[in-house]
């Protein structure tokens, strides 16, 4: 096992089993590529969990785009969820519900792409429409 992964697992392994059962982690978003936005979190995970990935938006409702959630053991190929239409209005959008088995650090990512203005239907950079007001939330449930 690589040293950084082992170091990340130590706090989780030291937790009582009850504390590991339900965990919620939130993270921010950054510019990805020319016009996409990437929201991501990493978390240690030991065992089998239900994984819920949500997108939290808080904006004026002036932009929309497509969002896709990815789940993987960090550093390994992952699997993608379905593309979901999202807007930058205030709210929570469930993007993916699945189960995962891991004894490692898990990476959950959401990519927002194909953004456009709602009023004019013209393309906009996703960072302009969603940046600074959008977060990812991941809930692990055993």
Ordered by where they begin, the domains of the chain are 3-141 (2.60.120)
**pLDDT tens-digit profile of 93-120?**
999 999 888 778 889 999 999 999 999 9
Q: Give the DSSP letter string of 10-47.
A: HHHHHS-HHHHSEEEEEE-EEEETTTEEEEEEEEEEEE
SS3 7: helix
pLDDT in tens, 60-77: 889 999 999 999 988 889
Please, what is the Cα angle at 141 between 92 and 28, to 5 degrees? 40
Going by their DSSP bridges, the two strands 79-80 and 36-73 should be labelled as antiparallel
Task: Give the residue-averaged pLDDT of 20-44.
Answer: 89
- Tell me the whole-structure pTM to 2 decimals: 0.82
């Amino acid at each position: 096992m690589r040293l950084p992964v082992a170091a990340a697992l130590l706090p989780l392994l030291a937790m009582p089993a009850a504390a590991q059962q339900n965990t919620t982690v939130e993270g921010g978003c950054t510019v990805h590529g020319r016009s996409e936005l990437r929201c991501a979190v990493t978390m240690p995970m030991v065992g089998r969990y239900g994984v819920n990935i949500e997108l939290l938006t808080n904006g004026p409702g002036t932009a929309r785009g497509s969002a896709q959630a990815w789940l993987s053991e960090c550093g390994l190929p992952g699997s993608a969820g379905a593309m979901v239409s999202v807007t930058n209005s205030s709210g929570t959008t469930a993007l993916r519900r699945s189960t995962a088995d891991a004894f490692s650090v898990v990476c959950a990512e959401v990519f927002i792409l194909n953004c456009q203005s709602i009023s004019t239907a013209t393309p906009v950079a996703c960072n302009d429409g969603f940046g600074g007001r959008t977060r990812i939330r991941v809930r692990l449930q055993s």
